[in-house]
Amino acid sequence: MIYKAGSYDVIVIGAGHAGCEAALAAARMGCKTLMVTMSMESIALMPCNPSIGGPGKAQVVREIDALGGEMGINVDKASVQMRIINTGKGPAVQALRAQADKDEYHKEMLKTLLDERNLDILVAEVEEIETSDSRVTGVITKTGAWFACKAVIITSGTYLKGRIIIGDLAFDGGPGNQFPSIKLSDSLQKLGLKMGRFKTGTPPRINKKSVDFSKMIEQPGDERSLRFSFVSPRMERPQLSCWLTHSTGITHQIVRDNLDRAPMFSGVIKGKGPRYCPSFEDKVVRFADKDSHQLFVEPEGRATDEMYIQGLNTSLPEDVQVQILKSVPGLENVRIMRTGYAIEYDYVVSSQLKLTLETIQVEGLFTAGQINGTSGYEEAAAQGLIAGINAALKVQEKEPLILKRSEAYIGVLIDDLVTKELDEPYRLLTSRAEYRLLLRQDNADLRLTETGYKIGLVNEERWHTYQEKLHILENERTTLKRTTFTPADKNIAEFLASKNSAVLRDRISLWEMLRRPELKIEDFVRLGLISDNDLDILEQLEIQTKYEGYISKQKEQVQRFEKMESRHIPDDINYDDVYGLSNEALQKLKQFRPHSIGQASRIAGVNLADINVLLIFFEKQRRK
Q: List, run by run, the mean pLDDT of 10-residue segments along the chain (624 residues).
A: 94 98 98 97 93 95 98 97 88 91 97 97 97 97 97 96 93 88 95 94 96 97 92 89 96 95 78 75 90 96 96 95 97 96 95 95 97 95 98 97 95 93 88 90 95 96 95 92 91 91 92 92 89 86 90 88 83 87 88 86 85 85 80
Same domain for 210 and 337, yes or no, is yes
Q: What is the CATH number of the domain that holds 224?
A: 2.40.30.260
DSSP per-residue string spanning 403-431: --TTT-HHHHHHHHHHHS--SS-B---GG
The confidence score (pLDDT) of residue 273 equals: 67
Backbone phi, then psi, for 465, in 5-degree steps? -60, -40
Q: Are residues 354 and 331 in the same domain?
A: no
The predicted structure's pLDDT at residue 530: 87
* Tens-digit pLDDT profile for residues 230-247: 999 988 888 999 999 999
d(CA 343, CA 165): 6
Evaluate whether residue 532 is within a structural domain. Answer: yes
Give Cβ neighbours of residue 414 (< 8 Å, ≥ 6 apart): 355, 357, 383, 386, 403
Give the per-residue pLDDT at 22: 98
Same domain, 92 and 190: yes
Cα gap 487→502, rounded to integer Å: 11
Statement to judge: residues 510 and 364 lie in one domain: no
89-121 pLDDT, tens digit per residue, is 888 888 999 999 999 999 999 999 999 999 999
Domain span at 544: 480-550
Domain of residue 126, CATH code: 3.50.50.60
- CA dist., res. 264 & res. 271, Å (int): 9
Rounded CA gap, 28 and 67, in Å? 12
State whether 285 and 138 are in the same domain: no
Whole-angstrom distance, CA of residue 539 vs CA of residue 446: 13
The answer to whether residues 168 and 49 belong to one domain is yes
Tell me the backbone φ, ψ of residue 614, rounded to 5 degrees.
-65, -45
| pTM score of the predicted model | 0.93
Q: Quote the pLDDT of residue 422.
A: 86
Q: Residues with Cβ < 8 Å from 526, sequence gap 6 or more?
A: none
Is the same domain home to 174 and 235?
no
Residue 185: φ, ψ to 5°: -60, -40
In the sheet that 119-123 helps form, which strands lie side by side, from edge to edge? 119-123, 33-37, 10-13, 151-154, 365-367
Q: Are 594 and 535 in the same domain? A: no
For residues 504 and 617, membership in a common domain is answered with no
Residue 487: CATH number of its domain: 1.10.10.1800
Q: In the chain, how many domains are there?
A: 4
Task: Please indicate, yes or no, whether residues 160 and 39 belong to a single structural domain of this protein.
Answer: yes
17/28 same-domain check: yes
Q: Within this chain, do residues 248 and 280 fall inside the same structural domain, yes or no?
A: yes
Whole-number mean pLDDT of the chain? 93
Strand partners, 82: 98
Give, as one character, the DSSP assignment of residue 304.
-
Pairing of strands 341-348, 163-166: antiparallel
